[in-house]
Amino acid sequence: MNPLPIVRALFRRNRGTVLLFMGLIALAVGLGVAISAQERALRKGSARAADRFDLIVAAPGSQTDVLLNVVYLQPSAIELVDPTILAGLLAEPKASLVAPVAFGDSVDGFSVVGTTAAFVERLAGPLAEGRIFRNRSEVVIGAVSPFRIGDRMRPVHGHGAAAEGPHAAELTVVGRMARTGTPWDAAIVAPVEHNWAVHGLPTGHPPDSEAIGPPYDPSRLPGVPAVVVVPDSVPSAYGLRNAYRTAETTAFFPAEVLVQLYAILGDVRSVMDTLAIATQVLVIAAILAGLMAVTEIQRERFAVLRALGAPRSYIFAVVWVAVTAMVTAGAAAGLAVGWAAAAVLSRFIARETGIAMTASIGSGEIGLALLLVAVGGAVAMIPATLVLRQPVAESLRG
Amino acid sequence: MSEGARLSAHGLSASFRDEDGRRFEVLDAVDFAPAPGRFTVITGASGSGKSTLFNLLSGLLPPRAGEVRFDGRGISALGEGARDRWRRVSLGLVFQNFHLLDELGPVQNVTVPALFGAFSDRRYRPRAEALLDRLGVPGGRRTLHGMSRGERQRVAVARALLFDPPVVLADEPTASLDAVSGAGVLAILRDLAREGRTVVVVSHDPSALSMADTAFRLGAGKLEPMAETAP
């Protein structure tokens, strides 16, 4: 028994309708796949971006705000960590690296972040070109920054239309970091002493000193928005986190906050998934109605096949294979459409946020498409069964 | 082709209900036994029940009473699968409107009945090509487009002959053809009878009657023999 030639003939006869149905299925699947793939890309990209920020210590307040400031460089007002606590952290024996992070300035909309040379290396590894800053008027730039080595700039205080300035101090670009896949790739990274100095704060060094980096004088430290701490071991990490969860500070692993954010994102995703599934159900229902109309139009053809000796199982197979093939092709096209949409969205979001993200089709999306194919296969039995109920002799008269 | 295969109808009755729900008899205890090797034509006015008889003889309609036998076996007693196979292998059906699949080529149309069975339709392509050649359908055509109605009906006849059936039933095979094409198709059907097949043509075409070996007239539910037109 070979239903394929008749299925092909059916498709050729109803080319426009078949393409329309397949397009609808592809759109419905593509929507679900795009949502799912994009959400995963965002989740992975944001998690990867936070990888190098082992433990963040900040003033009490919203951990999410601190995370957005420190990792994703989304400026917002946050309280400062008291200088004495910063001094204590800098002397912390369980930490292999303690890096104060200061921000608030920008150049042409690009954040100027102050930190230490050691943290630049921790974040991005060896520089892609040039060298690390050696004094308060030198900066390095992120991998995708539009600036070049040798460029000079004067930061303004704040971002965008609310910015004030510019500051008197001029900065010169001396190096470019390797790509990190984080918003830091577009940033301008200065010695933290530069940020402190231009805002009239103590710099951790004597007033007439131009030194940068540790060791710092504990009595000359200012408050800082956040401190990135790299613990020397896993037990130390948990120990430090607990030690700095006090009335004066909060300490957290970025992953902790991301998990909470993902839970919210997950709720949104489940709503979107439900909408996508509802869309697919509606599309299948519409297609089923269309198919019943098409099979009604084709009843004479099926009657001819029956008259020529086709068993009921053959007619059933023709209709079932036709519908299932259409749903399968639509679902496969939907996977491709969904992946393409997610890829375009990822590229757009990466450009806007600096978070590197790659859209990919995972088992969830393939499972979604397979589920639709399975439902389509089951639903296909309805028109296939209805065709068999049509009286042959009557249908032959057209 | 199996020799001596006989198709016969015994006390065949059929009735339908009209729009008001009243039952009216189309066929009333019809007995019919067309002889193999003879070109049999059944004629009658429109609505006399010619197509109903065609559908009953081909097992597409169940009779209200009586039965159709093939080689002495009642086809109603066959299971549905066996009846489908019987119609596929032992009957060749030809329709007024050809009922070809326009999206397939002539050879593919002829091999359509082979799609229902266990063997690949490719196995029957040489036979399909030979049949088309024999019936005068120009070879090498890949589609039905551009074929005349007469040529299309010849393709339909070739399809009916794919499994070399002992019985060929045709329902108004010339009704949608011009006179010349119709005469050509009737000549083919008569030649098939000459080869020993049972050929029954249901038609109101006078030229079919003029070529018939045996003719019947259907009217008022009864099938009456007409004078034989050939020895």
| Residue A146: per-residue pLDDT | 94
Find the radius of gyration of the CA atoms of chain B: 17
Cβ distance A392 to B60 less than 8 Å, yes or no, reads yes
Q: How many CB pairs under 8 A join A and B?
A: 78
Eight-class DSSP state of B146: T
Q: Are A294 and A302 in contact (CB under 8 A)?
A: no
Q: Are A49 and A182 in contact (CB under 8 A)?
A: yes
Q: Are B48 and B24 in contact (CB under 8 A)?
A: no
Q: Does A176 touch chain B if contact means CB atoms closer than 8 Å?
A: no
d(C-alpha A169, C-alpha A155), whole Å: 8
Picking from B99, B144, B169 by the largest number of A CB atoms within 10 A of its own CB, the best residue to mutate is B99
- In this prediction, residues B84-110 reach a mean pLDDT of 92
d(C-alpha A276, C-alpha A271), whole Å: 9
DSSP A334-386: HHHHHHHHHHHHHHHHHHHH---------HHHHHHHHHHHHHHHHHTHHHHHH
Q: Does B80 touch chain A if contact means CB atoms closer than 8 Å?
A: yes
Helix, strand, coil percent content, chain B, rounded in steps of 5: 35, 25, 40
Alpha-carbon gap: A27 to the closest alpha carbon of chain B (Å):
29
Q: Are B57 and B68 in contact (CB under 8 A)?
A: yes
Q: Are A25 and A287 in contact (CB under 8 A)?
A: yes
Regions of chain A where pLDDT drops below 50: none
Alpha-carbon gap: A320 to the closest alpha carbon of chain B (Å):
15
Nearest CA in chain A to B56: A393
pTM beyond 0.80: no
Contacts of A214 (CB under 8 A, 6+ apart): A90, A116
Rounded (5°) CA angle A344-A345-A348:
90
Q: Band the pLDDT of B2: cuts 50, 70, 90.
A: very low
pLDDT in tens, A34-91: 888 888 888 888 888 888 899 999 999 889 999 988 898 888 888 899 999 999 999 9
Alpha-carbon dihedral of residues B142, B148, B149, B155, nearest 10 degrees? -30
| Residue B5: per-residue pLDDT | 57
- Using a CB-CB cut-off of 8 Å, the residues of chain B touching A1 are 115-118
Q: Does B152 touch chain A if contact means CB atoms closer than 8 Å?
A: no
d(C-alpha B3, C-alpha B195), whole Å: 10
One-letter amino acid at A54 equals D
Name residues 364-393 of chain A within 8 A of B (Cβ).
392-393
Q: How many residues are present in chain A? A: 398
- In this prediction, residues B184-206 reach a mean pLDDT of 92
Nearest to A112 by CA among A203, A13, A197, A32: A197
One-letter amino acid at A8 equals R
d(C-alpha A384, C-alpha A266), whole Å: 39
pLDDT in tens, B49-87: 888 999 999 998 888 899 999 988 888 888 888 999 999
| Residue B228: per-residue pLDDT | 56
**Tokens 């408050």 belong to which residue?**
A223
Q: Which of A314, A393, A398 sits opposite B60 (nearest CB)?
A: A393
End-to-end CA distance of chain B: 24
pLDDT in tens, B12-36: 998 888 778 888 888 888 899 999 9
Rounded (5°) CA angle A47-A52-A56:
90
Q: In the predicted model, is pLDDT for residue B230 greater than 60?
A: no
Q: Are A204 and A216 in contact (CB under 8 A)?
A: yes
Q: Which of A9, A309, A397 sits opposite B87 (nearest CB)?
A: A309
Picking from A298, A396, A397 by the largest number of B CB atoms within 10 A of its own CB, the best residue to mutate is A396
Q: Does A16 touch chain B if contact means CB atoms closer than 8 Å?
A: no
d(C-alpha A304, C-alpha A392), whole Å: 8
d(C-alpha A28, C-alpha A161), whole Å: 42
Q: Are B81 and B118 in contact (CB under 8 A)?
A: no
Q: Which of A10, A308, A396 sits opposite B113 (nearest CB)?
A: A308
Find the largest Cα–Cα distance for chain B.
53
Name residues 86-125 of chain B within 8 A of A (Cβ).
86-89, 91, 93, 95, 97, 99, 101-104, 108, 112-113, 115-118, 120-121
DSSP A217-254: -GGG---BSEEEEEESSHHHHHHHHHHT-SSS-EEE-H
pLDDT in tens, B122-157: 889 999 999 999 888 876 777 888 888 989 999 999
d(C-alpha B55, C-alpha B170), whole Å: 10
Of residues A371 and B166, more confidently modeled: B166
* Cis peptide bond upstream of A215, omega within 30: yes
Contacts of A388 (CB under 8 A, 6+ apart): A312, A315, A316
Strands (E), chain A: 55-58, 95-107, 110-115, 129-130, 138-141, 152-153, 156-157, 171-176, 188-191, 226-231, 250-252
Q: Band the pLDDT of B231: cuts 50, 70, 90.
A: very low
- Using a CB-CB cut-off of 8 Å, the residues of chain A touching B101 are 6, 9, 301
Cβ distance B116 to A314 less than 8 Å, yes or no, reads yes
Rounded (5°) CA angle A269-A273-A274:
120
Nearest CA in chain A to B122: A2
Nearest CA in chain B to A307: B60
Nearest to A339 by CA among A47, A48, A41: A41
Nearest CA in chain B to A10: B103
Q: Does A5 touch chain B if contact means CB atoms closer than 8 Å?
A: yes
Strand A226-231 with A55-58, pairing? antiparallel
Find the radius of gyration of the CA atoms of chain A: 31
Rounded (5°) CA angle B123-B126-B128:
95
Percent of chain B scored above 70 by pLDDT? 95
Find the largest Cα–Cα distance for chain A.
106
> Beta-carbon neighbour count of residue A317 at 10 Å?
19
Of residues A201 and B1, more confidently modeled: A201
Nearest to A333 by CA among A7, A21, A106: A21
d(C-alpha A171, C-alpha A201), whole Å: 18
Q: Are A111 and A185 in contact (CB under 8 A)?
A: no
Is residue A196 helix, strand or coil?
helix
CB-based contacts of A272-276 (< 8 A; 24+ apart in sequence): A272/A35, A272/A39, A273/A32, A273/A35, A273/A36, A276/A28, A276/A31, A276/A32, A276/A35, A276/A368
| Residue B229: per-residue pLDDT | 55
